[in-house]
Structure 1
Amino acid sequence: MRALITNDDGIDSPGLWALASAAAECGLEVAVAAPTAQASGTSASVAAVGEHGRVVSERRTLPGLDVEAYAVAAHPGLISLIACRGGFGGKPDVVLSGVNLGANVGRAILHSGTVGAALTAHVNDVTAMAVSLDVGLDGPEPLWDKACEVVRVVLPTLLEMPAATVLSLNVPNVVDVQGLRWAELARFGTVQSRVDDVGDNEVELVHVYAEDSLVPGTDTALLADGFATVTALRSVGRDVSPERALPAWPA
């Protein structure tokens, strides 16, 4: 099976290299295509740096890895889309996005480029998983190997799930992970944005830790208790719950 490895932290992220290595160790044929530069917070954006609809990429050699790799002047959502349409050596059986520097939890995953790449794969009928390591704003050294240890546990299960399944995996940045749990999405993420008015028609977004109490069973609560969390996601789809009779129009 063929895996496309991408992320939103960029081609030079050690988390990307670790995820590619873990996928190869699981027996997958690996190709890497990741943004040339940092692309966090881009959600499923299909923006690219280029003209006339052309996406520029260059071959790269990654440390300790003998895989085809591309640095792409595009956001991870577009990279995932291109891969699922046959780019970067052919359509993958699975898209793995990460390992992200920082957790992607709660409904704030809407804004995550890491998750956006996985959800883009989903809408193109490709199985995917977003992987994130819960390193805080001023956290200790990232334990990439621990995140990939959990990836190697979860990946075989993912590949046995129905086609186009998408999972979000979050791993605490600790040596002794307590276990693996399915998790609900918290209302917000662990980090929220506060808007400060700095005058002269300008505002500033400041990232602060959420002060809401942790709800048992949610990804934020389980991560805080030292568990790795798995949440099955789905992309855009019709919600029939608010639908009601529409006014007759035109009369």
Structure 2
Amino acid sequence: MRALITNDDGIDSPGLATLARAALDSGLDVVIAAPSTQASGTSASVAAVGDTGRVVSERRSLPGLDVEAYAVAAHPGLISLIACRGGFGGKPDVLLSGINLGANVGRAVLHSGTVGAALTAHLNDITSMAVSLDVGLDGPEPLWDKAGEAVRVVLPVLQEMPAASVLSLNVPNRAEVRGLRWAELARFGTVQSRVDEVGENEVELVAVYSEDSPAPGTDAALLADGYATLTALRSVDRDTSAERPLPAWSA
């Protein structure tokens, strides 16, 4: 199977290299295409860097990895879209995104470039997985290899799932992980944005920990308890439960 590896932390992220090695160890044929610069929080944006309509990429050689690698002037959502349409050497069988520096939990995954790349692949009928390591705001040393271990365990599960499935895997940043659990999405996430007014016509977004305790069984709660969590995601879809009778109207 051919795997396209991307992320939102940029081509030089150690998490990207860890994910690529885990994919290689699992027998996948790996190609890397990742943003040339930091692109966190870009969701599934398909905006390219620049205004020419052309997406610029540069072949890169990554230490310790004998694979094709491209540094791309684009957000991960656009990189995913290009790959799914045959770019970077051909359409992949699976897209892997990460390993992100920081958890992606709760409904706040909507804003994540890591998850956005995976959901874009899902919309284009490609099986995908987003992987994140729960390194908090205080910045402890990331245990990348622990996340790599989790990827090796989960990849066979992903490969057995129906076509175009998408998973979000979060791994606690601790030496001893208690296990792997399916998890509901928390209402939001462990980290939220606070808006501070700093002057006339100007506000500042500050990242802070949520003051609310996550509900039991959610990804945020299980992750805090030392479990790696898996959540199967769906992207844009119709919600018939919200539909009501419509008034008669014609024009």
* Short-chain TM bin: over 0.9
Paired with 1:19 and 1:45, the residues of 2 have a C-alpha distance of 22
Residue equivalent to 1:66: 66
**Percent pairwise identity:** 83
Residue equivalent to 1:112: 112
1:168-217 superposed Cα distances (whole Å, 9 cap, x missing partner): 00000001000000000000111000001112210000100001012110
The equivalences for 1:1-251 within 5 A come to: 1-250=1-250
1:223-247 superposed Cα distances (whole Å, 9 cap, x missing partner): 0100000000010000111111111
| Deviation (angstroms), 1:51 | 3.5
1:97-137 superposed Cα distances (whole Å, 9 cap, x missing partner): 00000000000000000000000000000000000000001
Paired with 2:130 and 2:180, the residues of 1 have a C-alpha distance of 15
DSSP 3-state at the match of 1:241 = helix
What are structure 1's unaligned runs of at least 5 residues? none
Most deviating of 42-51 and 60-69: 42-51
Paired with 1:141 and 1:37, the residues of 2 have a C-alpha distance of 22
Paired with 1:197 and 1:53, the residues of 2 have a C-alpha distance of 36
Paired with 1:22 and 1:216, the residues of 2 have a C-alpha distance of 30
DSSP 3-state at the match of 1:47 = coil
| Deviation (angstroms), 1:50 | 2.9
* Alpha-carbon RMSD: 0.8
DSSP 3-state at the match of 1:104 = coil
Paired with 1:219 and 1:243, the residues of 2 have a C-alpha distance of 29
Q: Which amino acid aligns with 1:155?
A: L
Q: Which amino acid aligns with 2:177?
A: V
| Deviation (angstroms), 1:78 | 0.2
What are structure 2's unaligned runs of at least 5 residues? none
DSSP 3-state at the match of 1:236 = coil
Paired with 2:244 and 2:223, the residues of 1 have a C-alpha distance of 39
Paired with 1:195 and 1:139, the residues of 2 have a C-alpha distance of 22
DSSP 3-state at the match of 1:222 = helix
| Deviation (angstroms), 1:250 | 2.0
| Deviation (angstroms), 1:63 | 1.0
DSSP 3-state at the match of 2:53 = coil
Paired with 2:250 and 2:190, the residues of 1 have a C-alpha distance of 48
Most deviating of 48-57 and 125-134: 48-57
* TM-score, scaled to structure 2: 0.99
Count residues with an aligned counterpart: 251
Paired with 2:139 and 2:59, the residues of 1 have a C-alpha distance of 32
| Deviation (angstroms), 1:52 | 3.1
* TM-score, scaled to structure 1: 0.99
DSSP 3-state at the match of 2:238 = coil
| Deviation (angstroms), 1:49 | 1.2
Regions of 4+ moved over 6 Å: none
